[in-house]
Chain A
Amino acid sequence: MKDFKYIGKSVPRIDAADKASGKIKYMSDLNFPGMLFGKILRAKYPHALIKKIDTSQAKALPGVVAVVTWEDVPGLNGFGIVVPDQPVLCEDKVRYIGDAVVAVAAETKEIAEEAIKLITVEYEPLPIVDDPIKATQPDSPKVHTDGNIHLHTKISRGDVKKGFKEADVIVEHTYYTGMQEHVFLETESGVSKLEEDGTLSVYAGSQYPQRDQMQLSRCLALNPRKIHVVSYPVGGAFGGKDELTIQPILGLLALKTKRPVKIVMSREESIISYWKRHPMIMKYKTGVKKDGTLIANEVKIYADTGAYASLGGPVLNLAIEHACGPYKLSNVNIDGYCIYTNNGTSGAFRGFGVPQATFAMETQMDIIAEKLRIDPVELRRKNALRRGDIAPIGNRLTTSVGTVAVLDGIRKTKLWQNREKYLVNDFKKPWIKKGFGIALTYQGTGLGVGLPDYGGAILKFCKNGGFEVGVGLVDYGQGIGTSYAQIAAEAMKCPIDKINVLLGDTDTTADSGPTSASRGVYTGGKAIIIAAERMIKILKSKASEILGVSADNLTASDGCICASNEPEKKVFYEEIASRFMNETCHLPQTEGYFLMPVADIKIKDAFGLPHNIFAFSAHLTLIEVNTLTGQTKVLKGAEVIDAGDVINRQGLEGQSEGGFVMGMGYGLFENMIVEKGIFKTTNFSTYIIPSIEDAPFEIETVTIVNPEETGPYRAKGVAETVMGGTAPAITNAIYNAVGVRIFKIPATSEVVYTLLKEKEKTE
């Protein structure tokens, strides 16, 4: 790797001090003079017709300033990134228990809460659609008039029948994954305010301010230029703030009352109201030759998107694209359904369908390895996709492919090297059994073919000789703000403390697409580099005037422009800035736009597929199972990651460790219970996420050298792949420890215990 000053180093987060000291104001912390408090009345039933809404008593309550229903929505009463099928406020029907029906703005939070209780809504309850497979049948009650199948995607390649005939072993199982909650620290919260010039400001943490602005303009019938969206800082998102949440209601209340209105969601309301990870049912049939060569894969996926589409379709498609794992497979048949039910509402979540498919496919691989007595790493290596290969859904992999490298990297981990030693059971506690497991996963970077996928950056030269970088993406904890500072500092040859990063604001930052799909560093970073190249040209031309050296013979380095062959002949950026100011009272500004390169083919009827660039990771776990209680304890973890070249070492480790623990929660703990459309686990005493006491003491992060030439400083995005393989690595380790296969996650203590008991009975 070239010798860089900032790239590849462990640079402390630029927002760390402000966050640790509490200086940063999140949207929930904002207060304005004359501010009102909003509150939303949610549905009483998961599925019902609305017969009548009576708000008169609420309106009459002293201190209530506005009560709004669907009738007050000035524009389209619908939002949704793909299809706007979710009402801002329900008119004639509610489709899940978190559906918004009426909203109130009042002088105090308490009055708003009181007013909500005074609203009466007459409902006619409808039969509940809670089984996604039954929901696909023609006689099922319908969540939407067009039926319950939001999207059906089918991909066939080769000849699956023939493949199964040639197979020596066929492994067939059905897998179930749970509904996972993002658990961002800050719930969906914010303030909206009508400014004196008629602009509507919306301060609410989210992942794509420019798209929020567009969706809000539709709902509120306002010129988008009259809407100012501020999405950053935000207290976490993980995909859960990609879609709109409370923003249209906030905007509506602010327009109606002409006063600032604030909503801070309680955890309980947040859990019932907004997005979750899609629960999936996945039927797998995999054919393999005696020597371990995968020969055919037939997959059927049912994704439960709940009441509204949001990103359910693309989530299903991503699960389909990754359903066969990063393996060579030329006979495939993948059939997927994205289905409407009354089970809450699901949408984007880190991994976007891939963790579900990875759990299924990587369990299949573990079963195959055992059946054929092939080492699990060897089996994966044998089938691994390499650069130039055709992926299972038919695209050629032309960019960096790290499959083999991450598998080989497993040997470099301490966990692998010492696993025999670690696996020795304590003879004093024979009921505790240790196990080791691996899983391989990968994740497309970016949005895929057919979707506008670009990065944008505004670079402003500042008086102090530093730069202000404005990218519309949002740092919601993954650390892109710091990566952008590193990239800008490196590209501008400027000290990093003179870089000021602006994020997530429709006024000051360039539209750079959504902060999702592991695309932040890649797209935003590339755009910054392009803007920086333009800026360097401008600085050189001004320096050329000052130094009397032709611009072609000038170089940027260490905060100044100098003559290439005479480095003492130089002018500092600060001087260049004052020269500009003296001459024109104006400092230059450049912009950079970058279009994401896409795959060689389009997949018919599968919007967004395929992807072009992928990040890869191998996940390793050492666990122990208490056979008396079924409890699984994760003792150690490791991730071997193909991130291209690393921008921020420390940031990558943070992603890897955080991703590992989130995957652990997915695999072992997080059990969102929804019965007949009603959430039973609406707070953290019942919806169990792992605590630091549950996380393993050590999670190793090992990177392999595999630069992605198209990326900013040859990097690619890893925020999702780091999470996707942990659950199956753990469940495979459970099998290794106690011989029970997990086909349904989370594998809670009771689940494992029950399986152990069943096994004991049959033995």
Chain B
Amino acid sequence: MKALNYLRADTIDNALQYLDEFKQDIRILAGGTDLVVRLKQDMIKENNILDISRIKELNGIFRKNGTIHVLPLTTHTDILESEVIEKYAFILREACATIGSPQIRNRGTLGGNIANASPAGDSISALFVQTAKLKLKSINSERVVSIEEFFTGPGKTILEPNELLVDIFMPELEENEIGFFKKLGQRNALAIAVLNVAVKMRRSETGTNTFDRAVVAFGAVAPTVVRGRRVEKAIVSSSLDSPEQIHYIAKLSFREVSPISDIRASLKYRQDMSINLLYEGLLGLSANDWKRKA
């Protein structure tokens, strides 16, 4: 591992100054669970490391006007322990529960999971269906983008070198909104997703098995997390009355995904799993009378 210059910021402003000063040659360190692995593999070109982990303003979970804010330094463990999240962002919670192990969840942050931009980043699919927005800040500007706009490829985002992710926020889930996050890994802990899927659906006021809104997202099946728009349309425009009908809808995922073969799984298996994982999740909800888990 090469020698690095270590910098630490205690406030957002302080961090933005450093980012501006070192431009292309500085890398942010939050929990370090992605970055340190890369550093050890000599895969980081920057020579300056900016530790933001002690910036208090970047840590916390709160509700404001029907919106939930999860600040980027919030760890996965914090998310699992938050009652607000459990009630209003439970899909995100289900996703964070599958990340790594207790040790990784204690250190790894939500902001890091997003900024790392892995197509297999588990929180990302959940944030897609919870229609999260991100606030990006630099020394002289600030912008808000939807999570879907943020990613441009594996490990690639629209984040400028002098920008910091400062807020992640999303509408609170409503009473009549249900959903799930499901992950297929090679084992039950410490597993990178072979595939993951997140779903959010709103029960319609008329009819029992009908929905007037649906958002579906898949992870690890394309260069970035992707939406399953055909599936969403089918859910909204039909009635999910039978396992056959649910299977018919799940099969549409086949056309939403463009996976690859790698050391963890073949393309074919991933294609089939994008169908079956969605199918299993929907069946599970159906068996529960389309209610949130009791």
Taking Cβ atoms with an 8 Å cutoff, the residues of A that contact B are 110, 428-429, 431, 626, 628-629, 631, 669, 673, 680-681, 684-686, 688, 690-694, 748-750, 753-754, 757
Contact = CB atoms under 8 A, between A and B. Distances in A.
A431 B190 contact: no
Nearest to B273: A629
Interface string B228-247: 00000000000000000000
Contacts of B1: 110
Interface of A is mostly: loop
Contact of A686 (B263, B266, B273): B263
Given A628-B280, A629-B277, A694 B187 contact: yes
Contacts of A694: 187-189
A629 B187 contact: no
Contact of B277 (A428, A429, A628, A690): A628
A428 B284 CA distance: 8
A431 B280 contact: yes
Given A429-B287, A749-B184, 11 more contacts: A429-B283, A628-B279, A669-B186, A669-B187, A680-B263, A684-B190, A685-B192, A686-B264, A688-B186, A693-B188, A750-B266
A392 to B, nearest CB: 37
A691 B187 contact: yes
Contacts of B188: 691, 693-694
Contacts of A750: 265-266, 269
Nearest to A669: B187
B144 interface: no
B99 to A, nearest CB: 13
B276 A628 contact: yes
Contacts of B287: 428-429
A690 B279 CA distance: 26
B138 to A, nearest CB: 34
A28 B279 CA distance: 49
Given A669-B186, A748-B186, A753-B269, A681 B277 contact: no
10 contacts: A428-B287, A429-B287, A626-B280, A628-B276, A629-B277, A690-B187, A691-B189, A693-B187, A749-B186, A750-B266
Contacts of B184: 629, 631, 749
Interface in B264-278: 264-266, 269, 272-273, 276-277
A681 B192 CA distance: 14
**Majority secondary structure of chain B interface residues (helix, strand, loop or mixed):** loop
A749 B192 CA distance: 15
B176 interface: no
Contacts of B186: 669, 688, 748-749
A750 B266 CA distance: 8
Given A690-B187, A694-B189, A754-B269, A629 B276 contact: yes
Nearest to B195: A629
| Residue of A626, A681, A685 most packed against chain B (CB within 10 A) | A685
B101 A691 contact: yes
Contacts of B189: 691-694
A749 B277 CA distance: 13
B191 interface: yes
Nearest to A751: B269
Contacts of B276: 628-629
Given A428-B287, A690-B187, A681 B263 contact: yes
Nearest to B190: A691
Contacts of B284: 429
Contacts of B190: 684-685, 691
A753 B276 CA distance: 11
A694 B189 CA distance: 8
A26 B211 CA distance: 61
A681 B186 CA distance: 13
Contacts of B280: 431, 626, 628-629
A204 B184 CA distance: 40
A669 B191 CA distance: 12
Contacts of B272: 753, 757
A151 to B, nearest CB: 33
Nearest to A681: B263
Nearest to B101: A691
A694 to B, nearest CB: 5
A660 to B, nearest CB: 16
A680 B189 CA distance: 21
Contacts of A685: 190, 192
Among all A-B residue pairs, the 7 with the closest Cβ atoms: A693-B188, A628-B276, A693-B189, A691-B189, A428-B287, A688-B186, A750-B269
Contacts of A688: 186-187, 191
B140 to A, nearest CB: 39
A214 B198 CA distance: 61
A750 B261 CA distance: 12
